[in-house]
Copies of this chain bind each other. A is one copy, B any other.
Amino acid sequence: MRAPGASVAPVADPPEPPPRITYVIGRLDRAVRAGIAAALEPVDLSVPEYTALSVLHRRTGLSNAQLARRTYVTPQSMIQVLGGLEARGLVHRSADPGHARIRRAALTPEGQRVVAVADVAVEELERRMLDGLGATREAHLRDDLVRCVRALGAGLDAPDAR
């Protein structure tokens, strides 16, 4: 005897529970990072470096502290990344008029060029990852992910994305 609507499969093994969602998130992140790292090899950028460049491209003029909060790392970590990018001439930092302590970062023309090249590669990766998902479902997915980030108290657009 079989419950109505059940699968026709022969007895079927114990119904393995779905993987924990946090586990899937971690696994996906690893796959994404590996993919991005590979895509970034030609322009000689690490994932943290590309992340910083990319954020600065969207929101120019962020300070090191702001950038750190945005990417959920400590300012001590971000200063390393930013220092490297500055040394390579991809980022320019200038003192905030009105608060000499704060140094606001912006992409140099070369930084713009590099991030544009990297973006192409990353977009290709995203297309591959989202292949077959409709635009609507993709939007839902992004929205839900953002919602999750916020629910964990790491807002993505708080006054300072803190």
A-side residues, CB < 8 A to B, are 16-36, 47, 51, 54-55, 58-59, 71-73, 122, 125-126, 128-133, 137-138, 140-142, 144-149, 151-154, 156
Contact check, B24 vs A146: say whether CB atoms are below 8 A apart.
Answer: yes
CB proximity of A161 to chain B, nearest CB, Å: 10
Q: Which residues of B contact A151 (CB under 8 A)?
A: 128-132
Q: Which residues of B contact A130 (CB under 8 A)?
A: 21, 148, 151
Most buried by B among A73, A148, A151, A154: A148
Contact check, B36 vs A146: say whether CB atoms are below 8 A apart.
Answer: no
Contact check, A58 vs B16: say whether CB atoms are below 8 A apart.
Answer: yes
CB proximity of A154 to chain B, nearest CB, Å: 4
Q: Contact check: which of B27, B137, B156 meets A156 at CB < 8 Å?
A: B27
Q: Which residues of B contact A142 (CB under 8 A)?
A: 18-19, 21, 24
Q: Contact check: which of B22, B58, B72, B131 meets A17 at CB < 8 Å?
A: B58
State in angstroms the CA–CA spacing of A21 and B144 once bound together. 11
Contact check, A152 vs B32: say whether CB atoms are below 8 A apart.
Answer: yes
State in angstroms the CA–CA spacing of A70 and B132 once bound together. 24
Q: Take A31-B72, A131-B151, A152-B31 as given contacts and tell me if A22 and B126 are in contact as well, using a CB distance cutoff of 8 Å.
A: yes
CB proximity of A29 to chain B, nearest CB, Å: 4
Q: Which residues of B contact A154 (CB under 8 A)?
A: 27, 30-31
